[in-house]
Structure 1
Amino acid sequence: MLARIGVDSVDDLFADVPERFRLEGLMNLPEPLTEIELQRAITEQAGRNVGPNDRVCLLGGGVYDHFIPAVVDEIAGRGEFYTAYTPYQPECSQGTLQAFFEYQSLACELTGMEVSNASLYEGGTSMSEAAFMAVRVSGRHGKIVVLGSVHPEYRAVLKTYLTRLESTLVEIPCPNGTVDPDEVAKAVDETTACVIFQHPNFFGCLEEAEAIVEKAHEVGAMAISVFDPLSVGLVKRPGEYGADIAVAEGQSLGVPMQYGGPYLGMFCCRSEYVRKMPGRLIGTTEDKNGKECFVLAMQTREQHIRRGKATSNICTNQGLLALRATIYLSLLGPEGLKEVGELCLRKAHYLADKLGEIDGLSLAFDRPFFKEFALKCDAGAEEVAARARAAGFDLGPRFQRVTADDDVNGLSGNSLLLAAVTEQRTREELDRLAAALR
């Protein structure tokens, strides 16, 4: 084989890898095991994992422990769906295409927008793709304005994408849990392509969404909303407060936490921008026999069209996870969505009130919130999180873990801790947590 490809040794194949990165000697692996011994060893290792069924999970920051009905696993686990890959010859994959079409329809209902793609990778890249789409639509390569209350990891993804592009990223500080729309007005001008805000935001607080959209539109910029899919059972949908593009992390729609991914990037927009939208779009038509069928109506990626006209390098969509979201949303319906939202809201405020009665703990921000809130910990966030862990509860993340910002609302990042309360939590659990921290 080496002779055939024209090299003298295996080492020559790795010539481009700097020597300091190459492994010297054998890897530090244990001795060979029999199948019985290997199975026992792996089982012991797996037993060290701790999941939400073993402890009480109040972790937030973009990934949440929501209830997933058993039928989601039952349908999504069928072989036809579970093993199907991206439909490169799409008309041969009618079942897969119908699932994507149903997902798109539900995503439009959820957001109040006219168009949805068949999904992207996850929330962070969806937000970045929305920013690039705004540049294409507006023709403005000047500024991309993002509020400091947007998830810090999403902002980091966008910043990375922009390192080799013309646009400048402008971040508006968020000292009080939400951003004043007047500060948005000061940051935007005729060179601004878009304003990106999160509602509810990273701290769980509700932004003044309509006012922010208005400030963006006053200078001809597009408004991009990063929203929580389960919040729209209670708060206005992005389309109702005037957003031009709506993106979300769809993990809360029937997708397990599963070690941080893979997840589901939702992407919706107004119909006039459809030609500038990244990803796949599934449509319906009639076959030669006059029967309804599903087709890949648009796919603006470089494998299918000229590279210079491609809207995105994102090559695929999260089909299996979009299917899970489709099943979940069809099970809930509008009333179920509202009920889940109300349960999250009431339980989160119940816990916030209980913890606010404890010396040394208080809400960091005096703002309306949905299911998540930032807790100010006088003894330090790690101390409070550790005490909760010892009692069987997982709180967090600590604010300092996900951002380099040292000061928020005059508070050290060391003192801020996020807590999220979903419909899964019971009053008894929340009372036990308060007792443990008291």
Structure 2
Amino acid sequence: PPITVSTSDDELQQMISDVPAEIDNLQFPCHSQVVERCVIFVTEASGEYELINRIRGIAEKNQIWRSYLGMGYHNCCVPHTIMRNIFENPGWTTQYTPYQPEVAQGRLEGLLNYQTMVAELTGLEVANASLLDEGTAAAEALSLCFRHNKRRRMLVSHKLHPQTISVVETRLSSLGLAVDVVDVFEADFSNRDIAGILFQYPDTEGNVLDFSEISEKAHSHGTLVCCATDLLSLTLLRPPSEFGADIAVGTSQRLGVPLGYGGPHAGFFACNQSLVRLMPGRMIGVTRDAAGRDGYRLALQTREQHIRRDKATSNICTAQALLANMSAMFAVYHGPQGLKDISTRVHNLTL
């Protein structure tokens, strides 16, 4: 039987009789030649087996090429246990923001693992439970810089991923903020009018540079430092916190999430404890229930849109919870040494 409930003949006749016009007159605005060209000839219905074979025959005409596009998108292997038990499990795929923690302890614990993983890899003190993607996270980082020091000018590295630059320019223009795309090593902070600076580590061309001097110069003039980075590379590289980054953003796609033709992928956001009240997105915290047992719940919700409305830290309060949980479970599945082994293999294949 069909999945959808179609209109019966009696219901169709009832609708036609209720319309105060002849059925031919309803087509009057359309030219007769247009109506004739729009006639669709539908073949006889096919069974599931025949239809699948037909689709496979069409799919075999595709030519599979290796993608070298990069720019934050990297293919990866999804462990079957994660694919089967999380990605294809309706108990995970249909989830929504766990406002009722009593029935969402498993999901909340998974998101807490995600936050812990991001915080440890970036070296920063707190992380949220994910954002929409890397571009959104970068725009949120610079918006936080504006809320922090009220300066209206931002510096963005020209070696940032191009889609990130586009999102940042679009989002910040609506706030009336100026975005200058520059070589960050030539940045001038002496006017003390720059709210934040954002650079990529490794950059969009794969270069790994030391930003310690830039961070020191920025901090001396009251500018916050934001770093867009790659979590897998941080298993081998210095964390952004060690060269003075106040905020780290990026995507966790390559930690067990398929490319999906460019999305969706979970963005991450981490920062220093002093900025936590300005941080966007959901945060998972640990608490105790009435019986004294450890439990998990949404924390610091007074920052968010459903509580503070126009005074919220962001009007984007969505978390990519399913994909963040996949990345968290990917890290748990492989463990610290396993992630380092994957990162080392990627590095060796790049040389």
Range class of TM-score, shorter chain: 0.7 to 0.9
Q: What secondary structure does 2:327 align onto?
A: helix
Secondary structure of 1:306's match? helix
Of 39, 49, 57 in structure 2, the residue corresponding to residue 44 of structure 1 is: 57
The aligned length equals 316
Partner deviation per Cα, 1:237-292 (whole Å, 9 max, x = no partner): 11222110000111111111111111110111111111101010111111111111
Are the aligned partners of 2:110 and 2:329 in contact in 1 as well (CA < 8 Å)?
no
In the TM superposition, 1:41-120 aligns within 5 A as 41-50=54-63, 54-76=64-86, 77-120=88-131
Q: 2:78, 2:256 within 8 Å by CA — same for their partners in 1?
A: yes
Amino acid at match of 1:112: G
Amino acid in structure 2 at the alignment position of 1:159: E
Give the residue type in structure 2 aligned to 1:99.
G
Distance 1:27 1:72, change over 3 A: farther
Structure 2 match to 1:194: 196
Q: Within 5 Å, which residues of 2 pair with 1:134-149? A: 134-140=145-151, 142-149=152-159
Fraction of identical pairs, as percent? 37
Partner residue of 1:205?
A: 207
Mapped contact 2:157–2:181 kept (Cα < 8 A): yes
Evaluate the alpha carbon distance shift between residue 80 and residue 191 of structure 1 in structure 2; reply closer, same or farther with a 3 A threshold: same
> Which region of structure 1 is more displaced relative to structure 2, 104-113 or 57-66?
57-66
Listed as ranges, the matches of 1:257-268 within 5 Å are 257-268=259-270
2:167 to 152, 157, 161: 157
Give the 3-state SS of the residue equivalent to 1:280 in structure 2: coil
Aligned to 2:304: 301
Q: C-alpha distance in 2, partners of 1:126/1:28?
A: 47
**CA deviation after TM superposition for structure 1 residue 105, in Å:** 1.1
Query: 1:182-261 maps to which residues of 2 (within 5 A)?
Result: 183-184=186-187, 186=188, 189-261=191-263
- TM-score, normalised with respect to structure 2: 0.83
Structure 2 CA distance, aligned partners of 1:111 and 1:68? 23
Residues 248 and 266 of structure 1 are in contact (CA less than 8 Å); yes or no, is this contact kept in structure 2?
Answer: yes
Q: 1:33, CA displacement in angstroms?
A: 4.3
- SS of equivalent residue, structure 1 residue 252: coil
Equivalent in the alignment of 1:172 = 182
- Secondary structure at the counterpart of residue 227 of structure 2: strand
Cα distance in 2 for partners of 1:170, 1:243 equals 19
Cα distance, 1:342–1:188 mapped onto 2, change above 3 Å:
farther
Give the Cα–Cα distance (whole angstroms) in 2 for the partners of residues 315 and 298 of structure 1. 13
Cα 1:343–1:255 change in 2 (3 A) is: same
Does structure 2 conserve the Cα–Cα contact (< 8 Å) formed by 1:126 and 1:267?
Answer: yes
Taking the aligned partners of 1:144 and 1:338, their CA distance within structure 2 comes to 34
Does structure 1 conserve the Cα–Cα contact (< 8 Å) formed by 2:99 and 2:298?
no
AA at the equivalent of 1:230 = L
Q: Helix, strand or coil: the match of 2:300?
A: strand
SS at 2:322's partner residue?
helix
Q: Could you tell me which runs of 5 or more consecutive residues in structure 1 were left unpaired when the two chains were aligned.
A: 1-7, 10-23, 174-178, 350-438
The structure with the largest strand share of the pair is: 1
Q: State the Cα distance separating 1:134 from its structure 2 match.
A: 1.2
Go from structure 1 to structure 2 and tell me whether the alpha carbon gap of 1:56 and 1:28 turns closer, same or farther (over 3 Å shift).
farther
The answer to whether the 8 Å contact 2:189/2:221 transfers is no
Q: Distance in 2 between matches of 1:290 and 1:197?
A: 45
Mapped contact 2:73–2:254 kept (Cα < 8 A) = yes
CA distance in 2, matches of 1:333, 1:209: 29
- Tell me if the contact between 2:280 and 2:314 (Cα under 8 Å) persists in the aligned partners: yes
